[in-house]
Structure 1
Amino acid sequence: MPNNDIYKHAASTISKKVIYLKKDRDNEIYKEALALASAYNPTQVLDVIDFLEEEDEAEGEVVSIPRAPRRHFPRDREGKARQLFNDYFSDNPTFPLDRFRRRFHMSKSLFIRICRGIINFNLEPIPDYINYFKQRRDATGLFDFNVFQKCTSAIRQLAYGIAPNAFDEYLHMGESTSYLCLENFCKSVLHLYSAEYMRRTNAHDVQRLISKREEIHGFSGMLGSIDCMHWGWKNCPVAWKGQFTQGDHGYPTIMLEAVALYDTWIWHSFFGSAGSNNDINILNQSDLFNELLKDMSPPCNYTVSGLHFSRGYYLADGIYPEWSTLVKSFKNINDPKAKKFKRFQESARKDIELAFGILQGRFAIIKNPARQFYISKIQLIMYTCVLLHNMITEDNGRAFCDLEEDYPPTRRPRHLDLHERVALHMRMDKELMDKGSHHFLRDNFIEHIWNLSPNHRIRYDPNSGPSNIPEHVTDPQLDEDDEVEEEYEDEDED
């Protein structure tokens, strides 16, 4: 080996070992490296020593690591917009309507209605989250994504519960853009449709609900079934995990309280409480009975066993308190009348469980643990899923009630002074928590249910048509709701 090559080898050996050996000048390997270098090039020893001294002086200084430059991917936004249009929205689309419903978890007409409502919104001042969906040119003069691409990204994130960049290959949309689409879509939908699809029951709705519930379950005057659901929180802060974790779950969750009917329409939703709470804590925090405490709830007149009642109620499970507006079942009972009542009550209370199952089946994002870091953004997603769930229920022709502008939502508030408001609140609160009224209403329902036939519930006739679904219902939901609970595996033809 030439002297030059030996020198290079020695210098390389020194450079590799100098970081570990510079503090230990008596190390044998260090001495051998210096001897090897000095044997073929004595002047190099001085350079090595100077290098070691510079390293000693620089010891303790922070070495800045240069950041990798941002990479640019040439995405074909216009080409992917044409492909999306040809696949689903053209006159002769590649995929028919049933494939659209299967992949978007809603009908094509409802999707176009939402997109049209966002684009046609023109009430000044236009919020930024609605203005985000208007197509513009970027700094290079090219058009950005259109409303179909942005809404498709948002809805598929809700429907499939996957990462924002999962559809980059199909839509050519980056992760940050997809996340903005989801956030702005949720805000826009809540802004446009929450007054209609997340409204409280008005007097017209109450009367229709009472008549339908009497036909279906035999419970006259029932306003729905109430229960709570947990949504896991994957990125919960470590300092909050004890507050948001319940023993039977073992991981942080956020709770949703909801009231639903047999048509699975969710009339009340309260979300955002820590998962360590139980159903009673959530009931005390929610605004379900605020109108009742203010004596502004819609009138609810019905008759049970020949007795007249004027206050609606909800079916609940055993953990809820014995209030006058809640009808609970029994744990263990041997009386035949109570057994029949227990069977009817538990069967009717499954409406809320059915609504939770369909909600999670339609929107897998709330079935999987939430990846967001802020509760406000998680609330935004949950309320959007509830609203879209009600929109899909109405679009399927299965909703009991529709919005009527002629019917006021509640009674007009009375003008009371402070002492009158306090007295009214205390009186209504006492009536709400009256256990005697609770047992009196349940005892009358036991007699009422005992006089009904064992097969009182009306079955759905498939030949009656979709318009008669609210009048004639069946235990299973329609085939469409059964599909959303299945796994969406790829078709063989794809």
Structure 2
Amino acid sequence: MVTESTMVMDFIDTSDEPQGRDSRPGKSFNHNRQRLSRGKNLMEDYFIDRPIFSKNDFRRRYRMCPNIFNRIMTALCTQDSYWHQKPDATGLLGLLPQQKMTAALRMLAYCAAADQCAEICRMGESTTLECTKKFCQQVEGLFGEEYLRAPTPADLRRLLVRGEQRGYSGMIGSIDCMHWEWKNCPSGWGRAYSGRKGRPTTILEVVASYDTWLWHAFFDVPGAQNDINVLGESHVFDKVIAGREPISTTPIFYIILMNSPP
């Protein structure tokens, strides 16, 4: 028998009501993400001796070679046990280090949102964000001294010799700029940052040598600027002008060619 109270309850949306102890409105229970089986699938796709996808597929999707991925993963696992696969309070094994690194790299390489990695890595949004933050902080701490540095006299000698062999005497690298689209540019800044294509962009200036090593990077110039204006604002020649650049035994002429790869 349908009563007035049951008719009223039929029209009440109880989906946002707390479900169980210590729950909050809008929060759902943890569900089975099949982490172990999907982690096994990820290993079979890329990380076993004969993976399903080739090294070229790995490089295109991870933006690095498998040996570089493994080197970074080994360093992270040695540095912090967070990256290890560990059992939880119920004894169920957690995420593989490959799953955690894949989530971080997908966010960094493709500007993906945290929840966009869920179907690949089987991780929640908060866990994906935590992995990405730890990845960035620890990679900078582990490899910053080796890679985030200025060229030494030995580096300059090597680059100058290679440039001489290719017919570019005194050249250490090529400089170029590229536009990065700014999706969430404030509307008030849109005109100042809009380039020739009419979309807001910021400009990245980079100096790269023949071995694709980046020796200089300068970012965040409005997209309406041209390459010469960006060069005028960047600090690429500051040490040279101030006389603080290391001197090599070979005479150094800082001839950096615009838009001309070595």
Q: TM-score range by the shorter chain?
A: 0.7 to 0.9
Match of 2:204 among 256, 261, 264: 256
One-letter amino acid of the counterpart of residue 222, structure 2 = A
Written as runs of structure 1 = structure 2, the 5 A alignment for 1:204-215 is 204-215=154-165
CA distance in 2, matches of 1:91, 1:219: 43
- Report how far residue 203 of structure 1 moved: 0.8
Written as runs of structure 1 = structure 2, the 5 A alignment for 1:10-49 is none
Task: Evaluate the alpha carbon distance shift between residue 275 and residue 131 of structure 1 in structure 2; reply closer, same or farther with a 3 A threshold.
Answer: farther
Q: Unaligned stretches of 5+ in structure 1?
A: 1-7, 9-64, 122-129, 303-308, 317-348, 353-494
CA distance in 2, matches of 1:113, 1:142: 27
Matched, 1:164 2:114: yes
Written as runs of structure 1 = structure 2, the 5 A alignment for 1:388-467 is none
Q: Counterpart in 1 of 2:227?
A: 279
SS at match of 1:226: strand
CA distance in 2, matches of 1:140, 1:239: 53
CA distance in 1, matches of 2:252, 2:46: 51
Q: Counterpart in 1 of 2:257?
A: 315
CA contact (8 A) 2:175 2:256 kept: yes
| TM-score, normalising length: structure 2 | 0.76
CA distance in 1, matches of 2:203, 2:225: 8
Matched, 1:224 2:177: no
Q: Counterpart in 1 of 2:236?
A: 288
| TM-score, normalising length: structure 1 | 0.43
Q: Counterpart in 2 of 1:351?
A: 261
- Report how far residue 149 of structure 1 moved: 0.5
Matched, 1:106 2:64: yes
Task: Evaluate the alpha carbon distance shift between residue 250 and residue 179 of structure 1 in structure 2; reply closer, same or farther with a 3 A threshold.
Answer: farther
Whose radius of gyration is greater, 1 or 2?
1
Q: Counterpart in 1 of 2:130?
A: 180
- Report how far residue 213 of structure 1 moved: 0.9
Q: Counterpart in 2 of 1:190?
A: 140
SS at match of 1:120: helix
Task: Evaluate the alpha carbon distance shift between residue 187 and residue 276 of structure 1 in structure 2; reply closer, same or farther with a 3 A threshold.
Answer: farther
Structure 1 segments, 4+ long, off by >6 Å, are none
CA distance in 2, matches of 1:117, 1:205: 25
Task: Evaluate the alpha carbon distance shift between residue 95 and residue 145 of structure 1 in structure 2; reply closer, same or farther with a 3 A threshold.
Answer: same
Task: Evaluate the alpha carbon distance shift between residue 226 and residue 105 of structure 1 in structure 2; reply closer, same or farther with a 3 A threshold.
Answer: closer
- Report how far residue 142 of structure 1 moved: 4.2
- Report how far residue 66 of structure 1 moved: 5.7
- Report how far residue 74 of structure 1 moved: 1.9
SS at match of 1:350: coil
Whose helix fraction is larger, Structure 1's or Structure 2's?
1
Task: Evaluate the alpha carbon distance shift between residue 116 and residue 289 of structure 1 in structure 2; reply closer, same or farther with a 3 A threshold.
Answer: same
Q: How many residues align?
A: 241
Q: Counterpart in 1 of 2:213?
A: 265
One-letter amino acid of the counterpart of residue 70, structure 1 = K
One-letter amino acid of the counterpart of residue 255, structure 1 = I
Q: Counterpart in 2 of 1:76?
A: 34
- Report how far residue 102 of structure 1 moved: 4.3
- Report how far residue 283 of structure 1 moved: 3.0
- Report how far residue 103 of structure 1 moved: 3.5
CA contact (8 A) 1:301 1:311 kept: no
SS at match of 2:240: helix
User: With CA pairs under 8 Å and 6+ residues apart, which has the higher RCO, 1 or 2?
Assistant: 1
One-letter amino acid of the counterpart of residue 102, structure 2 = T
SS at match of 1:219: coil
- Report how far residue 242 of structure 1 moved: 3.9
